[in-house]
A and B are shown apart, each in its own frame.
Chain A
Amino acid sequence: MAHAAPHLRLIPPLGPSAPLPESPAWSEPPGERGLADHQRPCPPGPLTLEALFQQHARYVATVVLRVLGRDHEVDDVVQEVFLTAMTGLAAVRSPEAVRGWLKTIAVRKACRHLRRRRLRGLLGFDKESPCYEHLAAPGCSPEESALLARVYKELDRLPVAERVAWTLRYVEGEQVEALAALCGCSLATAKRRIAAAQARLGRTLGHDR
């Protein structure tokens, strides 16, 4: 088969029978990885904008940063997330569900922001050359910083849907089912997007090694 069609690459099969390469075994819930104890969200209080912001702003900002990769774009998206959240806050019955709900909003706003960024780039308005070297925390090793910078540069070349799916799976550490719900697509579509992104990144990052 491989001889008959040399242009086809063997992509690791996905699905329950052959799971994706395992993301690191996180002890923390997704999105809270690397947060110190004092930075953990406070117990749920009254659902006002201020309270909501105080409890979840940092978490939302982290999710947005991991999807976008550019720190200076985070604040705008966080504002949009909380503005949208305010309109639907009355419908939230369980305070425990607020975090997941905010994450869904954050992912979709980030997707929209990425699409706008791509459009600006196509129209020639996005002339900024992104610097991903400073994306990692100051205590990070130079190798890890360089790896992250290369990964995000490659992610910039991917279609937005594939980029977000891959980021949520391997950077944010989401399970595929939760990822599909966050992206608003089916499980199969989520797997297909992750596999496509994985193949593209493998071609570039794998050869660079």
Chain B
Amino acid sequence: MTAELTDRIGRAALQVEVPWTPERAALVLRGVHGRRRRQRRLRGLGAAAGVLALVLLGPWLVVSLRGRGAAPATRVASVQKAAEPQVGGELTAAERPLMRLRDGSLVRPRGRASRVRVREDRPGRTVVALTGAAQFEVVHDPLRLFRVETRGLAVEVLGTRFVVEEHGAGIRVAVHEGRVRVLWASHYDEVGAGRSAVFLPEQPAAQPGDADPEAGPVASAPPPLAEPAPPSVPPAPPPPLMEPAPSTPPPTVLSGAAHAAAAAHPGVRRASLRTPHTPPTSSTAPPPAAAAVPAAPPPAEPESWQALAREGQFEQAYSLVYGPPATASGAHRTPPPLLREREGGPGELLLLADVARLSRHPADAVAPLGRLLREHPADPRAPLAAFTLGRVLLDELGRPREAAQSFLRVQELDPDGPLSQDALAREVEAWSRAGEGASARTRALHYLQKYPAGRRLRSVRHFGELL
């Protein structure tokens, strides 16, 4: 384009002019005002909608944020140091009716005689030693273990509201919300929301029914996994004092659940034996004819480590098995005969592992569990042993790589068993703690594929870094 043409265009452009009349200007100005009004109206509507949304969603948001902020990973399961006297030490219910832990969990002892001792034996693990009864409201956190121990029974919390109380000779666990895992001797069971179960201290087995009046309609608990209980438990056998004097050593008495368990799993029998040492003063008295027979007390039986373990006296049982401490630090280095010689069935090995674990010698639990897995891989309790071994290695001994192998073993031994899902989830956690991010991720993806609505999804996503 030439400069001359450009110049012509420039001159012609001078003539481009808007016919701008006052009427047109007024019309345009009115249009500006109209648009402003519409704009303001829209802004007002938007603000009103925002306020309405805030009012409607605000409470939910606050509750949600508070719930999330209550249990950050760095603070979980830590009891307030400043409030040590409040949460540590022994307190009666009357003195401290409600105890609030730092993570927001609540412990409410029931009755004047109830005693609660809270300790954090290591980060991420809160242990509550309970005598009597207490109600717990635990803030859910997959990274934290909340464990209640009472008379040889342990309740591990998966984030819930529940009650643990003595119930006659047993211990009753009633779950209002969430889910708990109950562990005893060498077994475990889970109790879900709206259910309750009674576990006998020496032969813990869920008894059906037993509705909690506060929890409303409560269904019966499922039978324990390792020892399926019959649908109804027969009444307790008559006390030995009322029986004819035995000419042979006094018979051991099996509870109803133990009878069934013994029939189902002969190897469980010894762990299920219950020797009546305290004659119950119940209404189920024997006939008068039986009462006329002179009673003879059972001969004193030397106290075995198994009996002590079943009574929950794990420290004494441990001393009996391993002998007195060989060093000033209290370490027992002598392997027990059970491990030296090829004695003892899977039940005894599991019990021995429990004795070591619950007497705070977790390293000594590895040998019996390992031997059980080597010598009895086909035993129905082998998956449980592998799972327990994984837990000990991961939670107690800090050996996550070996723990992951153990959890993998659980899945190999019983791919569709009740422990398989938890084992896979804990395997993900173990790989993550071992620094094997790729393995953790792979196994986490496997979990998501196998259990798309699994109960450990949050933990698996966290440790598998799938968030």
Contact = CB atoms under 8 A, between A and B. Distances in A.
B3 interface: yes
B90 to A, nearest CB: 69
Interface in A136-174: 136-137, 139-140, 144-145, 147-148, 151, 170-173
A148 B1 contact: no
B11 A144 contact: yes
Contact of A53 (B2, B32, B39): B32
B328 interface: no
A167 B228 CA distance: 90
Interface string A172-209: 11000000000000000000000000110110011001
B250 to A, nearest CB: 96
B27 to A, nearest CB: 7
Nearest to B12: A144
Interface string B160-187: 0000000000000000000000000000
A164 B463 CA distance: 57
Contact of A136 (B3, B15, B29): B15
Contacts of B5: 205-206, 209
B28 A78 contact: yes
Nearest to B2: A206
B18 A58 contact: yes
Contacts, number: 119
A169 B417 CA distance: 81
B6 interface: yes
Contact of B14 (A33, A61, A76, A209): A33
Contact of A148 (B6, B13, B25): B13
B9 interface: yes
B301 interface: no
Please indicate which of the listed interface residues B20, B27, B33, B39 has the most CB atoms of chain A within 10 Å of its own CB: B20
Query: By DSSP majority rule, is chain A's interface helix, strand, loop, or mixed?
Result: helix
A24 interface: yes
Contacts of B32: 49, 53, 79, 82-83, 86
Contacts of A148: 9, 12-13, 15-16
Contacts of B10: 23-24, 170-171, 173
Contact of A171 (B13, B20, B28, B39): B13
Nearest to B34: A79
Interface string A38-69: 00000000000110011001100110011000
Nearest to B13: A171
A75 B27 contact: yes
Nearest to A132: B16
Given A34-B15, A71-B19, A21 B9 contact: no
B20 A24 contact: no
30 contacts: A21-B1, A21-B3, A21-B6, A21-B7, A24-B11, A33-B13, A33-B14, A34-B15, A53-B29, A53-B32, A58-B25, A65-B17, A66-B13, A71-B18, A75-B24, A78-B28, A82-B29, A83-B39, A86-B32, A137-B17, A140-B15, A148-B15, A148-B16, A151-B12, A170-B6, A170-B9, A170-B10, A171-B10, A198-B1, A202-B1
Interface of A: 21-24, 33-34, 49-50, 53-54, 57-58, 61-62, 65-66, 71, 74-76, 78-80, 82-83, 86, 135-137, 139-140, 144-145, 147-148, 151, 170-173, 198-199, 201-202, 205-206, 209
Interface of B: 1-3, 5-20, 24-25, 27-29, 31-33, 35-36, 39
